Structure 1
Amino acid sequence: MKVLVVGANGQIGQQLVMLLQASHVYSVRALVRTEGQLKAFEQSGVEAVMGNLEETVEQLESVVRDCEAVIFTAGSGGKTGYDKTLLIDLDGAVKMIEASKNMGIKRFVMVSALQAHNRKNWNEQLKPYYVAKHYADRILMESGLTYTIIRPGGLLNEDGTGKVTIGENLERGMIPREDVAKTVIASLQESNVFNKAFDIVSGETTIAEAVGDYKD
């Protein structure tokens, strides 16, 4: 299975590309925004392509061509204004969903945010970010694609533990980015989480068990 990673140069994205590249099951294409990022991935033996989520759907179709799955982990970042949150986290995600549908891709995994589906639990200081995630997730769920939406808690840069808790409505918690990336990979072909959405934080259950036994 060939997988496009959208947001490949981000911290979770880089973990995903590394895991997919090392896999015997998957091949990976990294979507990046700059020539420097492109060259860095290519020097590591990773197929990379330049694109911008503010481009048209038609332009993004060429990015997903020949892929079988898309992982969306792009974000505007904390240093931009909420205008970019709207353009990247919401409209960029929706355009990638549309491009995937147009190119016949069936599988789409979205990295969202803890409790993005539950308005009463949004962080008031980040409300526009949660609005963007909420509606991008809803549009994916209504798209007809085979989706999985993974909503991580606070993200850590420390080594992963390989153990998580997943559920429909979890209390706020933290999780290493490495464990988020490994959960995304574990979800790609696990039919138990097809057309499912869940929160995820660190826990006591192995990723494989948590994903394989998940009941919403």
Structure 2
Amino acid sequence: MSRTLIIGASGQIGKKLTRNMLNDGQKVAALVRDKNKLSEFDDANLSIIEADLTKDFEHAFEDCTQVVFVAGSGGNTGADKTILIDLWAACRAADYAKNNDIKHFIMVSSIGADAPSSGPEEMQPYLVAKHMADEHLVQRGLKYTIVRPGTLTDDEPSEQITTERPSNKDDAKITRADVAKALLYIVKNPADSNLVTELFNGNKSIAQALK
């Protein structure tokens, strides 16, 4: 069975994805800075790899066929961490994936990463970082899926989504749990060609929206 590397497995979406994948019987390599953040997991299919994303983490790619980059600097950090994690670590992850013949790279980006200058001024440094990381992945020549969720919420998952951006900005949101469920679907059902897609709460099943 193939093994998927989850970069940022202890984050809010990353931990949900890790749990979803293990419950589905998938083999997971979870890259985290502190393994204690995954102490609740006890599964033979899980390998926990400790590494600092600001340093060399290429060893984590060994024996993996897919990668999900779901790491982020978080909303409470400054522009320095945004550059180091959301941009530089993401770019290096794409480089490491190329070096290690990764078959599919899934990048969790953000709504607005396609046009950072159109976003709110306070969000533009973050959106620029996401935009540049996405562009670097595209240029590496890997098979990729770039996922750009809307505004993230902690509501209960509905498992009903859409890839069409709502006309009302207030509706351009999605639960973190539904993003994690969509990522599991993408891991198990990679598209035949490269894909960039947005995700929002909607009225279609995940399979219908992403098929």
Task: Determine the structure 1 residue equivalent to 2:111.
Answer: 114
CA contact (8 A) 1:170 1:200 kept: no
Shift of 1:36: 2.1
Establish whether residue 177 from structure 1 lines up as the match of residue 176 from structure 2: yes
Name the CA distance, whole Å, in 2 between partners of 1:202 and 1:181: 13
Shift of 1:37: 2.3
CA RMSD in angstroms, aligned pairs only: 1.7
- Superposed counterparts of 1:116-131, under 5 Å: 116-131=113-128
* Partner SS state of residue 188, structure 1: helix
Q: Deviation string for 1:67-125 (max 9, x for gaps)?
A: 11000000011111101100100000011111111111121001110121123532211
Output the amino acid matched with 1:2.
Answer: R
After superposition, the Cα gap between the structure-2 partners of 1:120 and 1:81, relative to the gap in structure 1 and judged at 3 Å, is closer
Establish whether residue 15 from structure 1 lines up as the match of residue 12 from structure 2: no
After superposition, the Cα gap between the structure-2 partners of 1:206 and 1:118, relative to the gap in structure 1 and judged at 3 Å, is same
Task: Determine the structure 1 residue equivalent to 2:55.
Answer: 55
Shift of 1:27: 0.9
Task: Determine the structure 1 residue equivalent to 2:161.
Answer: 164
TM superposition score normalised by structure 1: 0.89
Name the CA distance, whole Å, in 2 between partners of 1:160 and 1:111: 18
Name the CA distance, whole Å, in 2 between partners of 1:119 and 1:182: 27
Task: Determine the structure 1 residue equivalent to 2:7.
Answer: 6
Name the CA distance, whole Å, in 1 between partners of 2:154 and 2:203: 19
Task: Determine the structure 1 residue equivalent to 2:194.
Answer: 195
Q: Percent identity?
A: 36
Establish whether residue 186 from structure 1 lines up as the match of residue 185 from structure 2: yes
Instruction: Identify unmatched segments of 5+ residues in structure 2.
Output: none
Output the amino acid matched with 1:27.
Answer: K
After superposition, the Cα gap between the structure-2 partners of 1:35 and 1:198, relative to the gap in structure 1 and judged at 3 Å, is closer
After superposition, the Cα gap between the structure-2 partners of 1:49 and 1:14, relative to the gap in structure 1 and judged at 3 Å, is same
CA contact (8 A) 2:116 2:124 kept: no
Shift of 1:29: 1.1
After superposition, the Cα gap between the structure-2 partners of 1:170 and 1:119, relative to the gap in structure 1 and judged at 3 Å, is farther
* Partner SS state of residue 29, structure 1: strand
After superposition, the Cα gap between the structure-2 partners of 1:193 and 1:90, relative to the gap in structure 1 and judged at 3 Å, is farther
Instruction: Identify unmatched segments of 5+ residues in structure 1.
Output: none
User: Size of the alignment, in residue pairs?
Assistant: 206
CA contact (8 A) 2:6 2:14 kept: yes
Task: Determine the structure 2 residue equivalent to 1:88.
Answer: 85
Shift of 1:4: 0.6
CA contact (8 A) 1:3 1:69 kept: yes
After superposition, the Cα gap between the structure-2 partners of 1:192 and 1:102, relative to the gap in structure 1 and judged at 3 Å, is closer
CA contact (8 A) 1:156 1:177 kept: yes
Name the CA distance, whole Å, in 1 between partners of 2:110 and 2:5: 20
Name the CA distance, whole Å, in 2 between partners of 1:61 and 1:20: 22
Q: Deviation string for 1:33-87 (max 9, x for gaps)?
A: 024225x15546532110111113xxx2211100110000000111111011001
CA contact (8 A) 2:7 2:71 kept: yes
Shift of 1:191: 4.3
